[in-house]
Structure 1
Amino acid sequence: MVPYNHTEFINIVTDLVNNNYISMDRIDDAARRILRVKFTLGLFETPLADETLVDQLGSQKQAHRDLAREAVRKSLVLLKNGENADAPVLPLPKKASRILVAGSHANNMGYQCGGWTATWQGVDGNNYTAGTTILSGISAAADPSTEIVYSKNPDADFVKSNNFSYAIVVVGETPYAETAGDSLNLTIAEPGPSTIVNICGNVKCVVVTVSGRPVVIEPYDSQIDALVAAWLPGTEGQGVADVLFGDYGFTGKLPRTWFKTVDQLPMNVGDSHYDPLFPYDFGLTTKPVNAS
């Protein structure tokens, strides 16, 4: 994977072999493994891909988008749904006087898709592919009489003075791939934390995290009424709205442990210090609003 400086790579490896740092047996073993896979795949007999379905790529057919939307619904994980003594916050009522939608990730298709998509490291904005942002999905799902107010990072005074029925806050990581995603703190990108504090301290709020992995949420957990891990939902943000408003129930489970602090890492089930914020395989469930 050195397409732009392969000659330098060849020279370095040759020098390491000549100076007995790497044996020829090790080189032969690496080459043998690659060749075995290529022979198994039949790449030498048929080096080009089957183009039978090439017209389907990027076709944006409704059936494809419907399947992607279903995948979003099923992958969401409900981590918190009110305090134990309170009534559940989700599903949200579609009919409300005024709903605040906020956060850096609420109206950003590039952030929803993450890295290794339109470009290697991902993009910022809505101009790179067709689809539906989470904000658009919420607007389409809410009752026509409900006023949707979008503010990317409102201050506390704005929240207090607008008499919102509730707020949906969508924050998370900015796109990355490979080494660019390495992080020692695993925090939500700014101004996400301040958005959570400004809103959730002043109105009932649902926080939706958009990220490729668990992120630090414990400092804000007590202020959050409901918490949803949306991972990287891709182009079909309406799949998030489908579940928030109860057209479908939450069914997803955590594929890995959600830590309290990065100081706990690495941490896995069975460790003596296993004390997660949310354990592996955790996920609250809800039923569709119209279920009998």
Structure 2
Amino acid sequence: MSRIDDAVRRILRVKFVMGLFEKPFADETYVDHVGSQAHRDLAREAVRRSLVLLKNGENADEPVLPLPKNASRILVAGTHANNLGYQCGGWSIAWQGLSGNNLTAGTTILSGISAAVDPTTEIVFSQNPDKAFVSSNNFSYAIVVVGEFPYAELDGDNTNLTIPEPGGRTISTVCGQVKCVVLIVSGRPLVVQPYLDQIDALVAAWLPGTEGAGVADVLFGDYGFAGKLPRTWFKTVDQLPMNVGDDRYDPLFPFGFGLTTKAVSNVTVG
């Protein structure tokens, strides 16, 4: 009880200093500025800085990212490629989050990609394509965007932490046919090891919110990858809990890991 009393005293002290008991409601003078272009630009920057590049080709001499903007035809696939609600996650508009693109203003990852590439590049979106479709369309490369569906609190409890289907099947189908970049949209690390050998480049995109264009900014080299893992990325859930310093610390990607790239003026198909 003494520790609780101490914590409460400190909280109350800050509230008194801030005058919250005299003026308990927020000042609404600038409420019309919320969601302004300046705010969205800052949110887009936060997306760029938070992306973590986990894999970039088989070796440093042959990186996959950044991607060329002038490719003839690009496949964009996956449940999370064109869904603003999935990008935002839980506690967005509704408690458990929502699905769809009519919830709030913003850009999906797909729309960000479409705006970033050369006008002559054809973007083909298929949420869950089959092998025949992928193999018959002569794609230059594919961008697969999959991940968790929105959740909050107990509804997010998960004992296996695998990529929800059809995400795994989409990765296997697409990456088995064409060079692919996989983006994981999630609030936490997920089990990716079963697919890692098939994936040419892997990015932890976390929950980019309304500014999906920030993802495209980095994929195509307008900005470099700079993000680092804020927690250990495990191989299997059997390893959990896993923390730096554990005797059997054997992660897929360690705490603080993150490959980097440099911004480039333009990447073109040779």
| Corresponding residue of 2:264 | 289
Q: CA RMSD in A?
A: 1.9
1:189 offset after TM fit, Å? 1.6
Change (3 A) 1:31 1:165: closer
Q: Using the alignment, how far apart are the partners of 1:70 and 1:28 within structure 2?
A: 40
Amino acid at match of 1:194: R
Q: Is 1:116 aligned to residue 91 of structure 2?
A: yes
Q: Using the alignment, how far apart are the partners of 1:93 and 1:233 within structure 2?
A: 22
What secondary structure is seen at the aligned counterpart in 1 of 2:190?
coil
Amino acid at match of 2:165: E
TM-superposition CA deviations, 1:114-140 (whole Å, max 9, x none):
011111110001010011000000001
Which structure's CA Rg is the greater one? 1
Residues 131-210 of structure 1 mapped to structure 2, 5 A cutoff? 131-210=106-185
Q: Using the alignment, how far apart are the partners of 1:200 and 1:169 within structure 2?
A: 8
Q: Using the alignment, how far apart are the partners of 1:198 and 1:68 within structure 2?
A: 33
| Corresponding residue of 1:235 | 210
| Corresponding residue of 2:101 | 126
Q: Is 1:39 aligned to residue 16 of structure 2?
A: yes
| Corresponding residue of 2:31 | 54
Gaps of 5+ in 2: none
| Corresponding residue of 1:106 | 81
| Corresponding residue of 1:271 | 246
| Corresponding residue of 1:65 | 40
With CA pairs under 8 Å and 6+ residues apart, which has the higher RCO, 1 or 2?
A: 2
TM-superposition CA deviations, 1:222-242 (whole Å, max 9, x none):
100000001000111110001
TM-superposition CA deviations, 1:218-263 (whole Å, max 9, x none):
1100100000001000111110001000011000000000000000
More displaced 10-residue stretch of structure 1: 193-202 or 40-49: 40-49
1:289 offset after TM fit, Å? 1.4
TM-score, with structure 1 as normaliser: 0.86
1:31 offset after TM fit, Å? 7.0
Q: Is 1:225 aligned to residue 200 of structure 2?
A: yes
1:290 offset after TM fit, Å? 2.0
TM-superposition CA deviations, 1:152-177 (whole Å, max 9, x none):
00011111111110000000000111
What secondary structure is seen at the aligned counterpart in 1 of 2:254?
coil
Q: Using the alignment, how far apart are the partners of 1:164 and 1:275 within structure 2?
A: 37
TM-superposition CA deviations, 1:52-106 (whole Å, max 9, x none):
212222xx42221111111111100000000027610000000111100000000
What secondary structure is seen at the aligned counterpart in 2 of 1:139?
helix
Work out which of the residue numbers 51, 60, 85 in structure 2 matches 1:76. Answer: 51
Percent identity between matched residues is 78
What secondary structure is seen at the aligned counterpart in 1 of 2:205?
strand
Q: Using the alignment, how far apart are the partners of 1:289 and 1:33 within structure 2?
A: 49
Q: Using the alignment, how far apart are the partners of 1:211 and 1:46 within structure 2?
A: 38
1:48 offset after TM fit, Å? 2.0
Q: Is 1:247 aligned to residue 222 of structure 2?
A: yes
1:39 offset after TM fit, Å? 3.1
Gaps of 5+ in 1: 1-22
Q: Using the alignment, how far apart are the partners of 1:167 and 1:137 within structure 2?
A: 15
Q: Using the alignment, how far apart are the partners of 2:121 and 2:231 within structure 1?
A: 37
What secondary structure is seen at the aligned counterpart in 2 of 1:196?
helix
TM-score, with structure 2 as normaliser: 0.93
Q: Using the alignment, how far apart are the partners of 2:21 and 2:72 within structure 1?
A: 64
